Chains A and B, each alone.
Chain A
Amino acid sequence: MRSTISLHLAKKGSFLRIEGIPEGKSRAQLLRLGLLEGEMVRCLERLPGGTIVLEKNRQEIAIGFSLASTIVVTVVKFPKEKE
Chain B
Amino acid sequence: MVPTDPGPHQHVERHNHPGIPITVDELIRTQVALVGNPNVGKSLFFNYLSGLYVDVSNYPGTTVEIARGRFQDIDIYDTPGVYGISSFTAEENVTRDMVLKADVILNIVDAVHLERDLFLTQQLIDMGKRVSVILNFMDEVEKQGLELDIRLLSHYLGVPIFTTTAITRKGFDRIPEAIHEARRGQQDREQHSRLHTMLAIAGSEAEALLILEGDEDIAQRHGVAPGSEREAMYVERRNRVNLIINAAVSEGQIRKRLSTLLGRLAVNPWTGVPMLFGALYLIYLFVGSLIAQDLVEYLETNLGNGLWEPWVRDLVARFVDPNSWLGTILIGEFGVLTMTVTYLLFLLLPLVIAFYLSLAIMEDSGYLPRLAALVDRSLNSIGLNGSAVIPLILGFGCVTMATITTRLLGSEREKRIANAILQFAIPCSAQLAVIAAMLAGAGFRAMLIFSATILTVFVAIGTILHRTLPGKTSPLLIDLPPMRIPRLDNVIRKTAFRAYFFMKEATPWFFAGALAVGIMQVTGLLNIWQSVLSPFTVSWLQLPKEAATAFVMGMVRRDFGAAGLYDLSLSPDQIVVALVTITLFVPCIASLMVMLKERGTKEAMIVWFGTWVGAFLVGGTLSQILL
Contacts and interface: CB of A to CB of B under 8 A. Distances in A.
* A and B from one complex: yes
A64 to B, nearest CB: 3
Interface stretch (B111-119, B327-335, B440-448, B590-598): B111-119
B581 interface: no
A56 B263 CA distance: 15
B113 A64 contact: no
B115 A47 contact: no
A59 interface: yes
B267 A67 contact: no
A44 interface: yes
A50 B374 CA distance: 11
A60 B234 CA distance: 21
Contacts of A65: 376-377, 380, 475
Contacts of B115: 34, 56-57, 59
A36 B115 CA distance: 12
Contacts, number: 117
B269 A25 contact: no
Contact of B475 (A31, A56, A58, A63): A63
A34 B376 contact: no
A63 B477 contact: yes
B372 A62 contact: yes
A62 B234 contact: no
A53 interface: yes
Contacts of A64: 376-377, 380, 385-386, 475-477
A48 B231 contact: no
Interface in A35-83: 36, 44-45, 47-51, 53, 56-68
A48 to B, nearest CB: 6
A67 B385 CA distance: 11
Given A58-B144, A63-B475, A51 B264 contact: no
Given A29-B83, A31-B235, A36-B235, A49 B380 contact: yes
Given A32-B119, A45-B268, A62 B83 contact: no
A33 B376 contact: no
A47 B269 contact: yes
Interface in B459-499: 472-473, 475-480
Contacts of B473: 66
B389 to A, nearest CB: 12
Given A59-B115, A62-B478, A64-B477, A29 B267 contact: no
B155 interface: no
Q: Identify which of B86, B88, B369, B478 gathers the most chain A CB atoms within 10 Å of its CB.
A: B478
Interface string B79-117: 000011010100000000000000000000000110110
13 contacts: A31-B119, A31-B235, A32-B83, A32-B238, A34-B115, A34-B116, A34-B241, A51-B386, A59-B113, A61-B477, A61-B480, A65-B475, A66-B473
Interface of A: 25-34, 36, 44-45, 47-51, 53, 56-68
Interface of B: 83-84, 86, 88, 112-113, 115-116, 119-120, 144, 230-231, 234-235, 238, 241-242, 254, 263-264, 267-269, 369-370, 372-374, 376-378, 380, 385-386, 472-473, 475-480
Instruction: Name the 6 nearest CB pairs between A and B, nearest first.
Output: A49-B377, A64-B476, A67-B475, A62-B373, A60-B480, A64-B475
Given A31-B235, A34-B242, A64-B477, 19 more contacts: A26-B475, A28-B84, A28-B234, A31-B234, A33-B479, A47-B373, A47-B376, A51-B374, A53-B480, A59-B113, A61-B477, A62-B373, A62-B480, A63-B476, A63-B477, A65-B376, A66-B380, A66-B473, A66-B475
